[in-house]
Chains A and B, each alone.
Chain A
Amino acid sequence: MTGPGLTRRDALAAAAAALAPAALGPAPAAAEPQVSGDADVLIPLRRAEAAAEVAYRTVAMAGGPGDVVGLANGFAAHEREHAMVLATALEALGADKPQPPRSAAELDRTLALLGVRPLSQAAGPRARLEVLLELEQALIARWVRAHRALQDPNLMRTATQVLACQGQHAVALRASLGQELLPSSVAADR
């Protein structure tokens, strides 16, 4: 999606400016990569977004009503984009990116770190959607908190765009579960 008047040249110019050394802080004196405070903020978010992609893929593969599978596939693609953007940002910041969970047990452990019930124990499509909604709420809380800590303006904008997407996922999941669509006027940060 592009805004009115935004050209590819605009985006490239902004991109180059954002990734110039000045935008990432002073150059490290030594050859060792220097991990910034923003990287510390983004690493757990990358872990969480990568886990979210795996969780949605798992739900899609588990099957169920077509609308549930369609939703899970669509949102898995979104989470993948979020995880990719975070991986790119971490690379630019000189930080390693956490890898996605490679098994159901690993996914459950990552979900537990986020305060979310294990997906492997969710029986049936509805229970799986409930776990996904818990996961979205956990992601929203972490993205809200990230806004307090992030320093780079471009990373902040990306964080806001991702946060907004997670909010929209939550609305769709509430609709699928027959819950109130808009329960709160402000997203909780915990």
Chain B
Amino acid sequence: MVDRRALLGAGLAGALLAGCGGSGPADRDAALRDDRDDRARLNDLLALEHRIVALYAGLPGAPALVGRLLEHERDHVDRLQAAVRALRGRPVRAPARVDLPGELAPLEVVRRAELTAVDAYLGTLPAIQDAGVRGLLAGIVAVEAEHLAATDHALGGRFAPDAFVTGARRL
């Protein structure tokens, strides 16, 4: 376990917090070193958003909250597609089908999806070169964290348990 306070005391906060996410610092450093451009990175996020839309649309007996999240995720798809096109790229298409995770309650599926989304945006943002795209992705990840808060609360948890929200790869 990492002792955040000990590292804060040592003046190492920024780097520590970078390393607290679901994917480790080595993964993220590798992501920064690869030579893919903003279009490819945006398409990775778009593929994830497509998958989340398909998951939410296919959840049986999902509560009303999921309908609201689905609206937002569809808007994220639209905005990411527009961003890829603005960079003269070709947006990836939605998958033909997405298998639902078995034996999980709908809100637990949603929680995993939102954790994964936060992790993905967190990992992608530092590698994005275009400042305007970074602004867009920051605006989206803030809302993905809001989704996570609302979902956690619906599951009986707290809205905002942590001072630093990291996400995790769970899909």
Contact surface of A with B, Cβ cutoff 8 Å: 1-8, 10-19, 74-75, 77-78, 81-82, 84-85, 88-89, 91-92, 140, 143-149, 152-172, 175, 181-182, 184-189
Q: Is the CB of A164 within 8 A of B32?
A: no
B48 CB–A CB distance under 8 Å:
no
B19 CB–A CB distance under 8 Å:
yes
Q: Is the CB of B25 within 8 A of A10?
A: yes
Q: Is the CB of B20 within 8 A of A149?
A: no
Task: Specify which chain B residues have a CB less than 8 angstroms from the CB of A158 in the assembled complex.
Answer: 13-14, 17-18, 164
Residue of B nearest to A181 (CB): B150
Q: With A6-B25, A18-B15, A143-B138 in contact, is A1–B72 under 8 Å at CB? A: no
* Number of B interface residues in the complex (CB < 8 A): 67
B99 CB–A CB distance under 8 Å:
no
B111 CB–A CB distance under 8 Å:
no
Q: How far is the CA of A175 from the CA of B146 in the complex (A)?
A: 12
Q: How far is the CA of A155 from the CA of B137 in the complex (A)?
A: 16
Q: How far is the CA of A140 from the CA of B160 in the complex (A)?
A: 15
Task: Specify which chain A residues have a CB less than 8 angstroms from the CB of B25 in the assembled complex.
Answer: 6, 10-11, 13-14
**Interface centre among A78, A144, A162, by most B CB within 10 Å?**
A144
Q: Mark B129-171, 1 if CB is under 8 A from A, else 0.
A: 0011011111111111111111001000001101111111000
Residue of B nearest to A84 (CB): B8
Task: Specify which chain B residues have a CB less than 8 angstroms from the CB of A18 in the assembled complex.
Answer: 12, 14-15, 18
Q: With A85-B8, A171-B159, A187-B143 in contact, is A161–B20 under 8 Å at CB? A: yes
The contact of B163 among A2, A81, A91, A159, by CB within 8 Å, is A81
Q: How far is the CA of A107 from the CA of B7 in the complex (A)?
A: 30
B63 CB–A CB distance under 8 Å:
no
B22 CB–A CB distance under 8 Å:
yes
Q: How far is the CA of A16 from the CA of B11 in the complex (A)?
A: 10
Q: Is the CB of B24 within 8 A of A3?
A: yes
- Apart from A158-B14, A171-B160, what 20 extra A-B contacts exist at CB < 8 Å? A8-B2, A14-B15, A15-B10, A15-B16, A16-B15, A18-B18, A19-B14, A88-B11, A140-B142, A147-B135, A147-B137, A148-B135, A153-B28, A161-B17, A161-B20, A164-B141, A164-B164, A167-B143, A171-B146, A172-B160
Contact stretch, chosen from B34-42, B90-98, B102-110, B117-125: B117-125
Q: Could you write out 17 A-B pairs with CB less than 8 Å apart?
A: A8-B3, A15-B7, A74-B160, A88-B14, A145-B135, A149-B131, A153-B127, A154-B14, A154-B15, A162-B164, A164-B141, A166-B142, A168-B146, A168-B165, A182-B143, A185-B71, A188-B139
